[in-house]
Structure 1
C-alpha cells in the first residue's frame, strides 16, 4: 500500500510539473509575442511614457487649445476614433463613417474640414498612435540638433490605412530617457503622392495624465534642407483628460443642420 501511495505521489508530481511547464511556456510565448509586436526602441519609448498597456486601458481623450476666436475642445473615443471638435462658431465631427461640419453662425469655416478633423488628435496622442494596426517600422537616420543626437524610428503605413496612407513619420527620441523628442512628418493628403519634404515638431513639454506622459507644448519649426532651424509657432494642450470610460456615441452624431464633408 505504501508503495502504491509513493507511486501515485510521484505521478502527481510529474503531472503538476508538466502543467507548470506548459503554463510557463504559454506565458513566455505570450511575452515574446508582445515584445516582438514593436521594435525594441519603440517599446522603450512607450514604456518611458507610461506603457502601452496603460494607454490601451483608456477609452476616451479630451483636450483644449486656445485659439484667437476662443477655445477649441476636442473629444475622441479612442477605440473607434469617433471625434468632435467644438469651436465657438463651428463644430466638426466624425461619426465613424462621415465627417460633418456645423456652422453656428454666418461665418464660413475656412479650414479643410476633412483634413483637420483628426489632425491635432494625432499629434496629441503621440507616441501611442504609433501602436495602431497597419504600421511598418524601420530604422531612420538620427537627427542632430544643437549638438545633440536623437535616434529615429521611421513610420509608414500599409496601403489604404487612414485618409493618407502615403504619409510618413519619423519619431526621434532622447537616447537617455527614451522620451519622444521630435516628430518629422510629410503631408500627402492633397497630392496623394509620397513627399520628400518633412515638417518638424519638437515635443517641448510633457504632462502626466492618468499615469501617462502626454504632450503639453508642441513647437513647430521652420525647415531648411529637410532639417529644423528655428521655432515658428507653439501649440499648448490644456485641460487634457484621459478616461477608462468612452463618450456617448450621441455626441458624435451629425446634427440636422450640419453638412457632410467630402
Structure 2
C-alpha cells in the first residue's frame, strides 16, 4: 500500500462462508500514529466529534497495542495487534495467523481461515474494532452528510471515501451512522467492490453495540451483520461477533510473536 497509514479493504466472503464481511486494506509500512495524535485537529468536524465520543485520538495513539478474545459461532480467537505498525498475531484451536510487517502467515495452513488466506484475514477484526480512530489515516475523506432516518430513528451521518492512490479498493464507500446525542457509532454500512469493481453499492450493514469503557476508550463488544436495502436496516444475518477481555497495552514484551514460525505458509503484502 502506498500510504503510511492503512485504509479500509473490503473483505467479501459471503459467497464462500455464507456470511457478509469486510476487511480493511492491509499495510506493510510502519504507521506513525504519534504524528496523527500531534497533528492539529478540527474538533468541530463530525468525524472528530465521533472520535472524541469514543475517547479521543490522543488516547488511542498513546497505546502500543490492543488484545482481545473474539467469539464467533462458539469458537474463540485470541488477537493481538500493534497499533503503531499494525503487526498482528491471532490464535485459535485450529490455527495461528500473523503479520510480521512484510508477510502474512498461517500455521499449519489456511484451510480453516476465513477467506482461506492469512493476508485476507489477519487484520479483519482489528479494523472493524478500530473504527472510527483509523479514519484519521491519510487519504481518508470524511464528509458530513447531515441527518439520516433509519427505521424511524435519526442519525448523524458520515460518508467515508478514499483517495485514488489509497489501497486496493479506492472505489469503496462507507457510511457511519452516529447517535445524534452521544456521537457514538451505531451503524456502519459499506460497499463491496474488492472482488468486483462494478459492485460498488451499499449492500451490507453492521451494528455496533454493548459499549464498554476500556482504559478511557469506549469499545463495542458486539458487532452484528444485517441486511441493508434502500436505506433500511433489514433482518440480522445471524453473523455476530462478541469481543471480551479487551486490553490496551503500553508495550508488547515479546515482539517475536509476530514473526512467521517454521512450517507456516506466507503471503506477501504489497
TM over 0.5: yes
Q: Which residue in 2 is equivalent to 1:46?
A: 51
- Decide which of 79, 103, 109 is 1:98's aligned counterpart: 103
Distance in 1, matches of 2:138 and 2:44, equals 14
Matched, 1:182 2:187: yes
SS of the residue corresponding to residue 180 of structure 2 reads coil
Higher helix share: 1
Q: Which residue in 1 is equivalent to 2:20?
A: none
Distance in 2, matches of 1:176 and 1:259, equals 48
Q: Which residue in 2 is equivalent to 1:132?
A: 137
Q: Deviations over 1:102-126 (max 9, x none)?
A: 127xx93252222222111111112
Q: Is the 8 A contact 1:126 1:214 kept in 2?
A: no
Which structure's relative contact order is higher, taking Cα pairs within 8 Å and 6+ residues apart? 2
Distance in 2, matches of 1:202 and 1:68, equals 17
Q: Which residue in 1 is equivalent to 2:252?
A: 246
**Are the structure 2 counterparts of residues 86 and 192 from structure 1 closer, same or farther at C-alpha, using a change threshold of 3 Å?**
farther
What are the equivalent positions in structure 2 for 1:64-143 lying under 5 Å apart? 64-68=69-73, 70-103=75-108, 108-109=111-112, 111-112=114-115, 113=117, 114-140=119-145, 142-143=147-148
How many corresponding residue pairs? Answer: 227
Q: How far apart are residue 141 of structure 1 and its match?
A: 5.9
- Rg comparison, structure with higher value: 1
Distance in 2, matches of 1:39 and 1:248, equals 40
Structure 2 gaps of 5+ residues are 1-38
Q: Which residue in 1 is equivalent to 2:203?
A: 198
Aligned alpha-carbon RMSD (Å)? 2.2
Structure 1 gaps of 5+ residues are 1-32
